[in-house]
Amino acid sequence: MSEAVLSGRRAVRAPGEWTAGWLLTLPAALAYVIMLLLPTLAAVLLAFTDFELGAGAPAWIGLENFREMAEDRGFRTSLHNTVIYVGITAPASVALGLLLALLIEAGTRGRALFRAVFFLPVVSLTVAMASAWQYLLHPTIGPLNAALRALGLPTPFWLSSSDTVLATLAAIGVWENAGFNMVLFLAGLTAIPRETYAAAELDGACSALDRFRLVTWPLLGPTTLFVVTITVIRSFRVFDTVAVLTQGGPNKASEVLLYTMYTEGFTFLRLGYSAAITLVFLLVVLALMWVQTRVLDRRVHYG
């Protein structure tokens, strides 16, 4: 069959294939526009208004919400708490996830048990897990303080003291994220060719530390970049544990950005100010993601 006939048949089929492609894409595109794009645009517009539920039609006030935010001590406190929470949770959960993946990949006994225990938070409802932590950390009947009392050690008020509440929530966040990171790192470790380790051993990398430093860590670069990015985003989105365990207390010591946004919008019904906080939150996350990809991507080995 000649090329002219083939090209003619392709030209005849092309419009039908183009239409079929768009029809197949249409449901996902509509869902994206209706459920993500339009609400995001609405939130951006509301951020420049004084919209309050039950207070009449909103008026355009420009940057007034952002000026109020800059002077709002409560907002600055929640931003500070969020940064500290992310600064503790993200590095610790990435490091713990990598350590667990290395231990399981090394063939440690009970690897199936490790996988189940540390992956449990990923497949469980956060609210249910938060309720379990509320019992475990109870100052009088909680098992943790009971064990500390048996050892003669002090028993802190984990969730009721301004000195310990944020660190306690960060520890819970590490437990929640470590299992997910472990699975991602296990996938990355599985993709590393075994021959690379054999070649490194021939070149003198005999110890486990040398093999990790010269082979495993460089080849885990793409996985590590992805895990760090996902973990930072998940850490910034902390809300459920704060809402269930502390409600931002005591004295706003555990209030984070998303909880401030929630209270302003759904407790005080100030949807315009809540949308402004949402916009700042999105900008902060996007800026961090841009910095991470610009700085870390240059050091990632994709070979």
pLDDT at 164 over 80: yes
More confident residue, 260 or 107: 260
- Asked whether 94 and 181 are in contact (CB, 8 A), the reply is yes
pLDDT band at residue 297, thresholds of 50, 70 and 90? Answer: low
In the DSSP assignment, the letter for residue 37 is I
Q: What is the CATH number of domain 65-299?
A: 1.10.3720.10
pLDDT at 5 over 50: no
In the DSSP assignment, the letter for residue 205 is -
Give the count of beta carbons closer than 10 Å to the beta carbon of residue 19: 10
**What are the tens digits of pLDDT across the range 246-270?**
999 888 999 999 999 999 999 999 9
- Asked whether 112 and 104 are in contact (CB, 8 A), the reply is no
Is the entire prediction scored with pTM above 0.75?
yes
pLDDT band at residue 6, thresholds of 50, 70 and 90? Answer: very low
Average pLDDT for 45-49: 94
In the DSSP assignment, the letter for residue 154 is -
Compute the distance between CA of residue 194 and CA of residue 162 in angstroms, rounded to an integer: 50
Compute the distance between CA of residue 185 and CA of residue 174 in angstroms, rounded to an integer: 16
Assign residue 269 a region: left if phi > 0, alpha if psi is -120 to 50, beta otherwise? left
Residue with structure tokens 């517009």?
Answer: 45
Residue 255: name the closest of 91, 13, 81 by CA.
81
Question: Structural domain boundaries of the chain?
Answer: 1-46, 65-299
Residue 132: name the closest of 244, 294, 275 by CA.
244
pLDDT attached to residue 121: 75
Three-class SS of residue 60? strand
In the DSSP assignment, the letter for residue 203 is T
Compute the distance between CA of residue 136 and CA of residue 145 in angstroms, rounded to an integer: 8
